[in-house]
A and B are shown apart, each in its own frame.
Chain A
Amino acid sequence: MSVKENADIKLTCYHCGEHCADDRIQHGNKIFCCQGCKMVYQILEQSDLCEYYDLNKNPGINRRFTVREDKFAFLDDEKIIEKLIQFRNDEQTHVMFYLPQMHCSSCLYLLENLHKIHEGVISTQVNFPRKEIEIVFQTGKTTLRKVAETLTGLGYEPYISLNDLNPKRPSVTRKQIYQLGIAGFCFGNIMLLSFPEYLGIDASEETLLRVFRWLSLALSLPVVFYSAMPYYESAFKSIQKKYINIDAPIVLAIALTFIRSVYEVISGTGSGYFDSLTGIVFFLLIGRILQDKTYRSLSFDRDYTSYFPIAVTVLKENKPVAVSLPDIKPGDTLLIHNEELIPADGILSKGKGYIDYSFVTGESQPVFKEVGEMIYAGGKQKGGNIEILVIKEVSQSYLTRLWNREEMKNEKLDFRRSRAEFLNRYFSSIVFGIAALTAAYWGWHDASKIWPAITAIFIVACPCALALAHTFTNGNVLRILSRNRLYLRNAQVLEEISKITHIVFDKTGTLTSTENYDVEYSGKSLSDKQLAMIVSLAGQSAHPLSKAIAGKIKIGKALSVQRFQEIPGKGIQGMVEGVELKMGNAAFVKAPQIRYPGSGVHVCIGTEYKGYFRVRNHYRDRLPAVIQNLKKQFRLSVVSGDNENEKETLQKIFGEDTPLLFHQKPEDKLNYIHALRQKGEHVMMLGDGLNDAGALKASHVGIAVTENSGYFTPASDAILLADRIPLLPRFICMAQWNKKVLFAAFAYSVIYNVIGLTFAVQAALSPMIAAILMPSSSIGIVLITYGVTNLLARRLEL
């Protein structure tokens, strides 16, 4: 790295790329934002792994806030180890960790060289799409806890939740890929063998012709009896439920084509339609895989177990012991550290609770709790350690009970009436009508042609084109949306989005950002020097409000702070430049008795009260424009678990006619959605927290908004990255167009069907015509759907 380059990136941390307040923390000629980042650099330098920094610029993960030392103490517990590891003998232990921080090729490089840093690790293998790492280490030489701590030290903290205690989920099924591969293989070879027939093979080569036909028959067997399996299953299931889905006529067409082809080959009357048959199965399978593409690092079915930690510290005879969560009993005393989750309802028995419920209830400001007060599970402690006396088991707490309500267990509505199925019903009845007419006609004129004509009709007019159009359009639109960070659970969601009439928003975490704040000051005017003093003091604290103030107000160089003190639940104080400074709540700084809008951070310099900073969650960028845009098409509502402080601001953004509901409990949100549905609305809900989980599930389309796809999201139909909320109107537009594209493709397939049917009703469908018609229609469909959807995406700038 040259000196000049260094000058350019001055004051950004060499490790994580974050802005550095000053250049005090140095190593070599590199600047770091904090000791944590510097330490990681030193470890890598010692282990000769500095290639980490060459692969990507500032690839590291910020280490300013370190994880407390004994956080992973529970990994010494044999019972927990037993559940987490995949394999163990006297020599080796295999374990899989989920590392949500993994993000670039540098991460991959570092993690796969873990054995150079951590003695005892034999090998590591990363699965990047899943953000998982499989670690093999020597049993006895190192422990699970030590490995987890090394990873955490490097910035890759393993995410271990209560969910990991469950039995392992079945491994990914690769059946679809086998089926596709085999269909492709058979289709290609049958195509090759069919060419002589198309080109008119000499009749004298009869033996050769027969060999070709029998080989084609043999090659079609795996396709009919293995690759096409999913269609049989789905058709069978639908008939069991007494309705006909789109796969049923496809199965009928496959069966008829196969029987007729086998008959032709055995009787020596023709070559059959093996090429068309295998070709269509092949294309259908491609479409299916495209549509079913899953996002492997995301999960749409998380419940509270993936949000809760796997173990918590329990005080037994005044000694901290790690106990796994299901083993916690009422009467236990839990020790909760800063930033830790409270896993069970209890009573605060020691310390000052400063509890952030934003994820659980939607309240934007942490709640202050004194000894003796009740604390509900799900909140996060901010500040010092507290002790809690458990009064309810984890499975009985307020939060988990919410989850065990009936609504949460119900499967989402039955999706049988999808659009393709709707079209199919018309399509099928018309085809059956034509078949009946043709049979009647040939029965009158030439009974020997009934069978060929009818089979030909079903071969040509199978709704394969429709199925193809459906899967390919959906598959491509899903791909376009995922490129824009909206991940849908499946293609059905797309159809639901196009029908919505009402959009319900959560406030905290959805309309506002939980990571970005707006800071306003009111009070006596402050000089630049005084402002610098305030920011320097705030910079010392990890409290969210202090962090917001220190982050939002830009000053030159930070001043040094002496005798810094943080009083949990009250405020902070310290000496800056020889002057005493106090910041915190009104009582702490002895602010004069006046009414303040909402909560504020009050400031006292020396003995003089100066004023207060109002810290509010920042509304997401471009929000007003987006809301105005959505208002033209949909009815909107806001349901928030928070208080009414923000009512005015929201009313301004949403307009007078939008219902704004505050103090909404999770049940209230759920009931609100139910009420809308009863009115016949098609509801989309956007929310981020556990308190929205019921509402997300109850709405037609529940979209979980998240700042980072590695974070926990409640169960939902879709996951949307928060910074893409401004694109919402375009997403909906895309979903609506998806429907039109599908109809266009359907129209195209009707034209092709009319051509094919004119041959078929005359009993004149030769295998060659079928072989030309089928692939050309399939390719046509694929081109139409891909072309149009991509064009739309470009028009919508997605």
Chain B
Amino acid sequence: MSVIIILLAISISIALIFLGAFLWSVRTGQLDDDISPASRILFDDKPKNLTGNSSKLPKTKGYAS
């Protein structure tokens, strides 16, 4: 029986951690903009070109169109 009490304590504290994470994410405004982060993750920095002239590099393929 006591083992159930321990398990209960563990489960609730884990749940509390997630609640805390949720509240933190709301507070820091992570849920304010639900559109741009989804696109932003797809933008990658092109590899830096040593000669400084990028027009000779092959074009990256478009993914959105």
- Give the distance in Å from the alpha carbon of A126 to the alpha carbon of B31 in the complex: 14
Q: Say whether A560 faces chain B, with CB atoms less than 8 Å apart.
A: no
| Complex partner residue of A207 from B1, B26, B27, B61, CB under 8 angstroms | B1
Which residues in A have their C-beta under 8 angstroms from that of B31?
177
| Complex partner residue of B35 from A45, A128, A215, CB under 8 angstroms | A128
User: Once the chains bind, are B46 and A48 in contact (CB under 8 Å)?
Assistant: yes
Q: Say whether A298 faces chain B, with CB atoms less than 8 Å apart.
A: no
| Complex partner residue of A127 from B18, B36, B54, CB under 8 angstroms | B36
Knowing A181-B19, A211-B5, the reply to whether A129 touches B26 (Cβ < 8 A) is: no
Knowing A50-B59, A185-B15, A211-B5, the reply to whether A108 touches B26 (Cβ < 8 A) is: no
Annotate A185-225 by CB proximity to B: 1 below 8 A, 0 otherwise: 10011001000000000000101100100010000000000
Annotate B19-35 by CB proximity to A: 1 below 8 A, 0 otherwise: 10011001100011111
Min CB–CB distance B45 → chain A (angstroms): 9
| Complex partner residue of A128 from B5, B19, B33, B42, CB under 8 angstroms | B33
- Give the distance in Å from the alpha carbon of A1 to the alpha carbon of B46 in the complex: 17
User: Once the chains bind, are A208 and B15 in contact (CB under 8 Å)?
Assistant: no
Q: Say whether A432 faces chain B, with CB atoms less than 8 Å apart.
A: no
Interface residues on B, range: 20 to 34
Q: Say whether B8 faces chain A, with CB atoms less than 8 Å apart.
A: yes
| Residue in chain A with minimal CB distance to B18 | A185
User: Once the chains bind, are A181 and B43 in contact (CB under 8 Å)?
Assistant: no
User: Once the chains bind, are B62 and A54 in contact (CB under 8 Å)?
Assistant: yes
Interface SS of chain A: helix
Which residues in A have their C-beta under 8 angstroms from that of B51?
none
Interface centre among B26, B49, B64 (most CB of A within 10 A): B64
Please report which residues of chain A, range 654-676, place their CB below 8 angstroms from some CB of chain B when the two chains form the complex.
none
Interface centre among A57, A105, A127, A182 (most CB of B within 10 A): A105
Please report which residues of chain A, range 156-192, place their CB below 8 angstroms from some CB of chain B when the two chains form the complex.
172, 174, 177-178, 181-182, 185, 188-189, 192
Which residues in B have their C-beta under 8 angstroms from that of A182?
19
- Give the distance in Å from the alpha carbon of A112 to the alpha carbon of B12 in the complex: 41
User: Once the chains bind, are A54 and B15 in contact (CB under 8 Å)?
Assistant: no
Min CB–CB distance B35 → chain A (angstroms): 4
User: Once the chains bind, are A1 and B59 in contact (CB under 8 Å)?
Assistant: yes
User: Once the chains bind, are A208 and B4 in contact (CB under 8 Å)?
Assistant: yes
- Give the distance in Å from the alpha carbon of A56 to the alpha carbon of B26 in the complex: 31
Annotate A30-64 by CB proximity to B: 1 below 8 A, 0 otherwise: 00000000000000010010110111110000000
Which residues in A have their C-beta under 8 angstroms from that of B32?
127, 129, 172
User: Once the chains bind, are B26 and A174 in contact (CB under 8 Å)?
Assistant: yes
- Give the distance in Å from the alpha carbon of A569 to the alpha carbon of B27 in the complex: 57
- Give the distance in Å from the alpha carbon of A109 to the alpha carbon of B60 in the complex: 15
User: Once the chains bind, are A105 and B39 in contact (CB under 8 Å)?
Assistant: yes
Q: Residues of A within 8 Å of B, CB-based: how many?
A: 35
Which residues in B have their C-beta under 8 angstroms from that of A105?
39, 42, 64
Min CB–CB distance A661 → chain B (angstroms): 43
| Complex partner residue of B60 from A51, A174, A181, A215, CB under 8 angstroms | A51
Which residues in A have their C-beta under 8 angstroms from that of B22?
181, 185
- Give the distance in Å from the alpha carbon of A238 to the alpha carbon of B46 in the complex: 60
Knowing A48-B46, A51-B43, the reply to whether A174 touches B27 (Cβ < 8 A) is: yes
Min CB–CB distance A548 → chain B (angstroms): 32
Which residues in B have their C-beta under 8 angstroms from that of A215?
8, 12
Min CB–CB distance A392 → chain B (angstroms): 42
Knowing A112-B40, A128-B35, the reply to whether A56 touches B64 (Cβ < 8 A) is: yes
Which residues in B have their C-beta under 8 angstroms from that of A45?
55
User: Once the chains bind, are B1 and A54 in contact (CB under 8 Å)?
Assistant: no
User: Once the chains bind, are B65 and A51 in contact (CB under 8 Å)?
Assistant: no
Nearest first, the 7 A-B pairs at minimum CB distance are A54-B62, A105-B39, A128-B35, A128-B36, A55-B64, A185-B19, A48-B54
Between-chain CB contacts (< 8 Å), 27 pairs: A48-B46, A48-B49, A53-B62, A54-B61, A54-B64, A55-B62, A55-B65, A57-B65, A128-B33, A128-B35, A128-B39, A129-B32, A129-B34, A177-B26, A178-B26, A181-B23, A181-B26, A182-B19, A185-B22, A188-B15, A189-B15, A205-B1, A207-B1, A208-B1, A208-B5, A211-B5, A215-B8
List 16 additional A-B contacts (Cβ < 8 Å) besides A55-B64, A129-B33, A182-B19.
A45-B55, A54-B62, A54-B63, A55-B65, A105-B64, A126-B36, A128-B36, A172-B32, A177-B31, A178-B26, A181-B23, A185-B15, A185-B18, A185-B22, A211-B5, A211-B8
Residues in chain B within 8 A of chain A (CB atoms): 1, 4-5, 8, 11-12, 15, 18-19, 22-23, 26-27, 31-36, 39-40, 42-43, 46, 49, 54-55, 59-65
